[in-house]
Structure 1
Amino acid sequence: MTNNDLRRRRKEDQSSTSVEDKSKHSKKTFRQYIILFGILIILSVILFTIVNQLKIFFIHDETLDDKYYPSEILYLFRKHDRDNDNYLSIDEFEPIASQLGQKKVPTDYIQPILNTDQLITINAFFEPLNFSTITKDFRHTYFTNLDELQSLKLWKQPYVSRLNFAARHFKSFLPKQRIEIGKPYWIIEGNKQQFAEHLPSNRYYPPDVSHEHIIFHRLLSMFHPRPFIFTRFPAQGTVAVVRARHGSLLDIYFRIHAEFQLNTPPYHPFWYTPGLFQGRLIIRDDASDLTYFQMYVPNDKRLNVDMEWLVERGGSSASLEVDIGYMPRMELRSAAPSINMNETGITPEQLITSMNESLYDSLLKSFNTIDENFKNEKEIYDLLEKKFYPFKEVPYYEYRQAFKKAEETNKLVHTVVLWVLESSAVLNLLRENYISTWALVVDLKAIMTNQSNDAIKDSQRAKHALDNYAFPVESMIQQIDGTVISKINANDLLETYSKAEQFLNVVSNGMDITVQRYVHFLEQALDRQK
């Protein structure tokens, strides 16, 4: 074999080996592609499954809900899911939980009117809150799609403008015991414990009332369908006094503390608390007929209604808001004296035409005789006020009058007070050493802005008081020129007791520590005056 033949064979062997290698490589690459393609398919299936699960987990699928849950359940859930995240937070669940043990709807009380009854028509008058008198900006709804103030904004007229009653329905206004002229009596008695726990605020519907208190619920329901005849905080209840007797007719004055819940779920509760209701009725001693009835929120002050509500501010929970404002009119008044249904043939559904105002006023004047118990209406209402606020046994003067009285008696001025003043120890100190007054911030600001020559002293005194004021309530002792020589804030007065104070409470005949602090505050001012 020649060299050429050897070279040719070597080339053929090399060529054969190269073809085999290429064939093997192609088969290996094909298998890799198949494996890779299979992996991609598997990963796609896994990813598709994960995405669908995430959609179910995070995205509200109404079709799926509608398939598996009744529409009533879905409606209730979505109603309380305030941020639409498909979950109920603790704040969203709280209104539901609070209702589980409560009433679900307000009770509609019915007092029948019989053919033998004396019929009387009550008219309701209502002018809504003046929004310019409040400090909060009610134009915004903060971070939620629910406007907690919507019910307040929409409340522009009485719930029921005219309603018929039987005269006998007002029997609850009469004294339960024997009739004593000039002696106040409880109709709905408030909590006697000075530091008793307040009633819960997370409520929407009033509790059921006893039969004898239905009339108060129905009267207040003419303004709004959810009245609470017993307020969450003192002052609480209803008190009355017989001013005079005219034969079998009794002239009764009364004072009521009540409040209204304006919201329903899913909104947070919104409490609307007028300063007070006061009024008068002239009724026969057996409640067989009613000559006159009036009940109203006094509007002679700059502010006359408190409000409390919760708002969402984008955080994990709601925050409490409070404010105070002015409401021009909230009044109930009888259209005319009650009439006998048998004699007139009138039906319970027919409303009595309102009597001419001048004639009605003339009729009332015949009952306005001066008696030995009261010189005027103010003395009557002052007497009722003391029933709610025992500390009012010490006279409280208008701010400017208090300083005039202090100049005459050479005493310090005790400005702004709290409920703790019911203590006899505090009352004795105030009665013997101080002239007392109380004022709202808005009143002091009005006094301060008057810079006329005859009012400059009062203006300076008011400025001293405002400079020393801190939210929510500040009690202070002022000298005649207005200088504040001692003060104590409600937060400091009610803060947690120190161990030293707890010990002092044991050795001071059990006198409440809060009272001890107030006594110390008053005595400290007397020492500084010396």
Structure 2
Amino acid sequence: MGPEEFKPIAEKLTGVTPVLEFEEEETLDPSGETLSIVAKFQPLLMETMTKSKDGFLGISHIALSGLRNWTAAATPMSVMFARQFKAFLPPKNKIELGDPWWIIPSELNIFTGYLSNNRFYPPVPKGKEIVIHKLLSMFHPRPFVKTRFAPQGAVACIQAISEFYYMIAFRIHAEFQLNEPPDFPFWFSPGQFTGRIVLSKDSSHVREFKLFVPNKRSLNVDMEWLYGASESSNMEVDIGYLPQMELESSGPSIPSVIHDENGNVMDSRDPAGEPIQFVFEEINWQREISWEEAAQKLEVAMYPFKKVSYLPFTQAFGSAKAENKLVHSILLWGALDDQSCSGRTLRETVLESSPILALLNESFISSWSLVKELEELQNEFYSRLADLHLEKYNFPVEMMICLPNGTVIHHINANDFLDITSMKPEEVESSIFSFSTNFEDPSTATYLQFLKEGLQRAKQFLQT
């Protein structure tokens, strides 16, 4: 056992909490403008957890103690220097609208694997990680700016440009460790943090800032926790709904020191004792794109598989009928395009493969859905389509090929798919999932065969 492996155990035995040190930031001008940030937090709705009701499946109250005790933001309000938000400015070669860049690059992929689950305390944030760590620490004292699984990091793009200002949209993948020794690690991973900032091109002034976890879907948080002190210990997984987790500036940044026309420091209050009011010029944007377009650019940067458009369930079948295409539908326990765990392997391998992308764009309308949302559909027509999906579903992910009328003509479970692709080619008996010699990657070859088999079966259905 190496020192890093022994460290969590030593922390458990001694109860000693390491002191988190920060890398030195560049020296900030104490007279620079400051920005007040307000945190709004509503805790996870425990009843939305799928499996982890008290006593169910042997889930102990102690395992969820860190989650249950997190009922409010750690720091409801914080004052930061405008210059600290310099990290959000674009690099010099990224000044076109919607052209994404990485604030914090992702260092993980399907080949590097993932980071250890058995950790309690975040690594020391460095460089541009520092401001994001400070912001997320307003929610909870143990944010991990780099997630255990890909895609990590933070990506941004310019949404609007004026003579002196940028409006920048951003997306951050981060997670929190809710437990400390002697309890075992409990990971809380919001699907994503997104938001935007309006700041001057020299970062001396921030007009507005907002960061939030989207809450429009019925489930938006992934949770994983260990039942032992080693990496090989059993891990429980669940998902749930977080109503509110957001940071917002209370107003534009203002000078911390006010000077008169002669350069003398003035009192921040007028003779009557009232705070001096600042008047800010209106920003006239010269060029801009919509929030939806900016968010889509960031999503594709994080997830190359989204080069294929995935329509909502309620739109996919109408579009398939209009375009005379089949529906490539994925039904999941957790989300496919955020940090939920159930679609992780699928989206990092076959769904972003060039041959798969080409075939999906050419011959299919694609859609993905949460099991919970299909179960709750009220519309009679769509609930009938949903029932056809749910009949074929097995945990955790089911991939399906459907006719425009909703009939499922071909499907495979993600676990079965992974079993097939882990075999040697000569071990695969089924001709349905035989390997093609044109592709070295067995996953791509097998998924291509799955899609092509769906197209072939569709001909038979349409002829009868």
TM-score normalised by the chain length of structure 2? 0.81
Q: What is aligned with 1:488? A: 412
**Of 140, 143, 160, which residue of structure 2 is paired with 1:224?**
140
For the pair 1:325 / 2:240, whether they are aligned, the reply is yes
Listed as ranges, the matches of 1:203-242 within 5 Å are 203-242=119-158
Q: CA deviation at 1:124?
A: 0.7
Give the direction of change, closer, same or farther, for the CA distance of 1:120–1:232 in structure 2 (3 Å limit): same
Q: What is aligned with 1:157? A: 72
The structure richer in helix per residue is: 1
1:138–1:149: 8 Å Cα contact kept in structure 2? no
Q: Distance in 1 between matches of 2:155 and 2:447?
A: 29
Highest RCO, 1 vs 2 (Cα 8 Å, sep ≥ 6): 2
Q: What is aligned with 1:251? A: 167
Q: Distance in 1 between matches of 2:66 and 2:453?
A: 48
For the pair 1:521 / 2:450, whether they are aligned, the reply is yes
Q: What is aligned with 1:96? A: 9
Q: What is aligned with 2:271? A: none
Give the direction of change, closer, same or farther, for the CA distance of 1:93–1:243 in structure 2 (3 Å limit): closer
2:435–2:446: 8 Å Cα contact kept in structure 1? no
Encode CA deviations 1:43-66: one digit per residue, 9 max, x unaligned. xxxxxxxxxxxxxxxxxxxxxxxx
Q: CA deviation at 1:299?
A: 0.9
2:424 maps to amino acid: K
For the pair 1:310 / 2:226, whether they are aligned, the reply is yes
**Matched residue pairs, number?**
416
Give the direction of change, closer, same or farther, for the CA distance of 1:482–1:110 in structure 2 (3 Å limit): same
Q: What is aligned with 2:342? A: none
For the pair 1:391 / 2:315, whether they are aligned, the reply is no
Listed as ranges, the matches of 1:138-287 within 5 Å are 138-140=53-55, 147-178=62-93, 179-191=95-107, 193-287=109-203
Give the direction of change, closer, same or farther, for the CA distance of 1:336–1:482 in structure 2 (3 Å limit): same
Q: What is aligned with 1:400? A: 314
Q: Distance in 2 between matches of 1:182 and 1:287?
A: 20
**Of 7, 32, 44, which residue of structure 2 is paired with 1:117?**
32
Give the direction of change, closer, same or farther, for the CA distance of 1:281–1:319 in structure 2 (3 Å limit): same
Listed as ranges, the matches of 1:30-109 within 5 Å are 95-96=8-9, 104-107=18-21
1:515 maps to amino acid: T
1:413–1:477: 8 Å Cα contact kept in structure 2? yes
Q: What is aligned with 2:49? A: 134
Give the direction of change, closer, same or farther, for the CA distance of 1:513–1:144 in structure 2 (3 Å limit): closer
Q: CA deviation at 1:176?
A: 2.5
Identify unmatched segments of 5+ residues in structure 1: 1-91
Q: CA deviation at 1:509?
A: 4.8
Q: Distance in 1 between matches of 2:455 and 2:376?
A: 29
Listed as ranges, the matches of 1:432-451 within 5 Å are 432-447=362-377, 450=378
Q: What is aligned with 1:19? A: none
Percent of aligned pairs with the same amino acid: 42
Q: Distance in 2 between matches of 1:142 and 1:505?
A: 39
Q: Distance in 2 between matches of 1:414 and 1:252?
A: 34
Q: Distance in 1 between matches of 2:10 and 2:197?
A: 42
Give the direction of change, closer, same or farther, for the CA distance of 1:99–1:147 in structure 2 (3 Å limit): closer
2:8–2:120: 8 Å Cα contact kept in structure 1? no
2:397 maps to amino acid: V
Q: Distance in 1 between matches of 2:112 and 2:306?
A: 20
Q: CA deviation at 1:382?
A: 1.1
For the pair 1:466 / 2:381, whether they are aligned, the reply is no
Q: What is aligned with 2:211? A: 295
Encode CA deviations 1:11-43: one digit per residue, 9 max, x unaligned. xxxxxxxxxxxxxxxxxxxxxxxxxxxxxxxxx
2:178 maps to amino acid: L
Give the direction of change, closer, same or farther, for the CA distance of 1:99–1:268 in structure 2 (3 Å limit): closer
Q: What is aligned with 2:262? A: none
Which one has a bigger Cα radius of gyration? 1
Over aligned residue pairs, what C-alpha RMSD do you find?
3.4
Q: CA deviation at 1:191?
A: 3.6
Q: Distance in 1 between matches of 2:156 and 2:300?
A: 12
TM-score normalised by the chain length of structure 1? 0.72
Give the direction of change, closer, same or farther, for the CA distance of 1:115–1:137 in structure 2 (3 Å limit): closer
The structure richer in strand per residue is: 2
What secondary structure is seen at the aligned counterpart in 2 of 1:438? strand
**Of 258, 261, 268, which residue of structure 2 is paired with 1:343?**
258
Q: CA deviation at 1:505?
A: 7.4
Q: Distance in 2 between matches of 1:234 and 1:295?
A: 21
For the pair 1:382 / 2:312, whether they are aligned, the reply is no
